Amino acid sequence: MTGVQTNKTASSEPCERMGGDEQERTHAGRPASSEPCEGQHGDEPTSPQSGRTASPNPPTRRAQRVPADRTRLKLAILLVCAAAILTVAVLAPLIRPCDPYAQDLGNALLPPSSEHLAGTDRYGRDLFSRIIMGAQPSVFSTLALVALIAATGIFVGVLCGWRGSKLDTVLMRTSDVFLAFPGLVFALAIAGVLGGGMLNAVIALAAISWPKYARIARGLTLAQKSEPYMDAARLAGCTTAQLIFVHILPNVAGPLLVTAMLDIGTMMMELSGLSFLGLGAKPPVAEWGSMMAENRNLLQTSPWTVIAPGIAIFVTVMVFNLLGDTLRDWMDPAHRKNAVWREGRVTERENTVPTGESGNPRSEDGTPSLANGVWKHPNQ
CB 353 within 8 A of CB 361: yes
**pLDDT score of 65:** 61
Angle, CA 272 vertex, CA 270 and CA 274 arms, to 5°: 70
Alpha-carbon span 159 to 175, nearest angstrom: 14
What domains, with CATH codes, occur in the chain? 1-45 (no CATH), 71-338 (1.10.3720.10)
Dihedral pair phi/psi, residue 46, rounded to 5°: -120, 155
Alpha-carbon span 47 to 300, nearest angstrom: 85
- C-alpha distances (whole Å) from 6 to each of 2, 40, 118, 186, 380 are 6, 16, 89, 91, 34
Q: Is the pLDDT of residue 13 over 80?
A: no
How remote is the C-alpha of 197 from its chain's centroid?
Answer: 35
- One-letter amino acid at 170 equals V
SS3 66: strand
List of residues 6+ apart from 296 with CB closer than 8 A: 276, 306
Least confident of 58-67, 101-110, 229-238, 274-283: 58-67
Alpha-carbon span 101 to 121, nearest angstrom: 11
Over the stretch 152-211, which tens digit does the pLDDT of each residue have? Answer: 999 999 999 998 888 889 999 998 888 888 888 888 888 888 887 888 899 999 988 999
Q: Confidence class of residue 376 from pLDDT cuts 50, 70 and 90?
A: very low
CB 7 within 8 A of CB 35: no
**pLDDT score of 152:** 94
CB 194 within 8 A of CB 202: no
For residue 158, with 0-12 CB atoms within 10 Å meaning exposed, 13-18 middle and 19 or more buried, which class applies? buried
Alpha-carbon span 370 to 375, nearest angstrom: 5
Which residues face 252 on adjacent strands?
none
**pLDDT score of 3:** 44
Tell me the percentage of the chain whose pLDDT exceeds 70. Answer: 69
**pLDDT score of 359:** 46
Average pLDDT over residues 211-226: 91
Short-list 367, 302, 325, CA closest to 75:
325
Average pLDDT over residues 372-379: 44
List of residues 6+ apart from 16 with CB closer than 8 A: none
Dihedral pair phi/psi, residue 104, rounded to 5°: -145, 90
Q: Confidence class of residue 356 from pLDDT cuts 50, 70 and 90?
A: very low
Which residues face 53 on adjacent strands?
46
Over the stretch 284-295, which tens digit does the pLDDT of each residue have? Answer: 888 999 999 888
Alpha-carbon span 336 to 279, nearest angstrom: 44
Average pLDDT over residues 224-249: 89
pTM greater than 0.75 (yes/no): no
CB 127 within 8 A of CB 99: no
Ranked by mean pLDDT, which of 24-28, 33-37, 51-55 comes out on top?
Answer: 51-55
**pLDDT score of 64:** 57
